[in-house]
Amino acid sequence: MEAIRREICLINKNAMVEIKEMCTPEFPRFVFKFKPNVILTYPLTCEGFARWYYIFKFFLGAKIISMRAEGVMDFNSEYELERFVGYDSYGGNLVDYELSWGEKFARVVGEELVKQGRLSSLDRFRTVGYPRLESYFEQKMNLPSPIFRVLDRISNYKKEKIVLFITGFVLANYSKQNILDAKDMGGEDRMDKALEGVEIIKNFRSEWIRQIINVAVENPDALIIVKKHPLENRGDYNHLLEGIKNILYIFEDIQMSEIIHHVGVYFHYGSTSLIDAYLSGTPSIYVSSEKNGEWYSDLGWPSTRRIDINEISLTVKDFLAGHISFEMTDEIKHVMKEMFNIREGITYNPSREIAKIILDPTPPQKIKITDQYFLKALAITILTTSRNLASSMLLQVAPTIHRRAKNWLKKQGSR
C-alpha cells in the first residue's frame, strides 16, 4: 500500500491518499468525511462485504477498484474457483476494475465474474503484477536486512549450510465459528468440507514440524530456518525452540525477499513464495503428503525437486553434499509470466501500474437508484444504523430510567 501511495504522489503531487483498515466501526464515518474519488479495496469475496461499497459509490460517486491480493489459485479445483470468485452478491456496475497479479487468473476468474454478472466486462479485469516483488528488479537490490536477531544468527553460517522451511497452516486453528465469521469459505453450505480441511491441515502441520525437528537433530552443523506465515500464531511453533540450538524460528513479519538471499535451499508444500526462489536463484523442494490432500498443491509450478514428506531428511543431506542447485527453465519463465506478469526485458513496476489505474480520469460506472443490490444495501444500512443509534441512546438514558424507577418503587412501598 505504501508503494502504491508513493507512485500516486509521484504522478500527481496534489493527490491525497489515506490507508485505512475497513473492518472497524469508524470506517464508514471516515469515508464520508474524506470523500474519496477512488477506493482501492481487497476482493469482495466475503458475504455482505459489498454493502458499504454500494453506499459509498452511490452517495459519493467513488470509483471502486478491487485488488486481488490472493492472486494465485489451483486452476484444476472447482472449489478454488468458487472461493476466489467469492460468496458475496452484487451487480456488474459496482466494481469498476479488478486487478490481478497474472494473466491466467484474470482470464479464469474474470470470465466467471462476468458470467455471474458481478463484472460488466472482461476488459475491466486488469493484469498489473505483484508489488511485493518490485525489489528484485531494482538496479541496485536495495533489500532491507532482516532484523538484527535474525541477521546475527544467519551470519554465523555459510549459505551452503542454511535450510529454509516455511509454514502456512492458518486454517488448522479454525473453529466452525471462525469459518462462519470469515464468510469467505461458503458458510454452512460448505462447512463439512471446510472442517475436513481443518483436520487435514492440522495433521499435515504436525508431520511438517516433526520432519523439521528430525532434520535439525540429524544435521547439527546446519542452520534450519523456520519462517511462519504472518497470520499464524507464534505459539503454534514455540516448541521448535526447546533445546534445539540450530533452529532459527522467524516469527516476526519479515518479507521473503529479506531472507531468501541468505539461504541455500527452500522447502515448501505449495506456496506463492516459490516466486521468491525463482527470482533469487534458490533451489526449491516441493513436499507432498497424503496428509495434505487437495488443500496444498504446487499448482503445477516447477520446483528443483518434488519429494514425499518422508524424504525430507535424505534431501537435506543431498543439499549439504552439494548435489542440489537451481536452474532457470522455460517452465519457470512461463509461470513467472502467466502468474505474476514478469516478462524478460520489460520493466517491472506493478505499483506504478496500479497508481495509473487509480488516477485514470475515466468516470466510474453508475449505480441506479433502482438497483436491487443497492436498495438492499441501503435498507440493511438504515436498519443497522437505527439499531446502533437506539442502543446508544438507551445506554445513555438507562441510568436515568433506573434511578427514576427506583425512586418510584420506593414511593410505592411507602404508601
Q: What is the tens place of the pLDDT at every residue in 124-165?
A: 999 999 999 998 988 655 566 778 899 999 999 999 999 999
Q: Considering only CA atoms, which of 160, 283, 284 is closest in space to residue 222?
A: 160
Each domain of the chain, given as residue ranges in start order, spans 2-129+349-374, 140-336
Q: What is the tens place of the pLDDT at every residue in 243-252?
A: 899 999 999 9
By the 10 Å C-beta count (0-12 exposed, 13-18 middle, 19+ buried), 253 is classed as exposed
Asked if 2 and 132 touch (Cβ cutoff 8 Å), the reply is: no
- What is the spatial distance between Cα 278 and Cα 258, in angstroms, rounded to a whole number? 14
pLDDT at 174: 81
Q: Which pTM was predicted?
A: 0.83
CATH number for region 140-336: 3.40.50.2000
CATH number for region 2-129+349-374: 3.40.50
Return the beta strands (E) in 229-361 as ranges. Answer: 247-250, 265-268, 284-288, 305-308
Q: What is the tens place of the pLDDT at every residue in 249-272?
A: 999 988 899 999 999 999 999 888
> CA 223, 229, 233, 234: dihedral to nearest 10 degrees?
20
Q: Considering only CA atoms, which of 79, 124, 87, 126 is closest in space to residue 105?
A: 126
Can 2-129+349-374 and 140-336 be said to share one CATH topology?
A: yes
pLDDT at 401: 45
Phi, psi of 288 (to 5 degrees): -115, 160
C-alpha cell at 139: 538496479
Q: What is the tens place of the pLDDT at every residue in 364-409?
A: 999 999 999 999 999 998 888 776 655 555 555 456 545 655 565 5
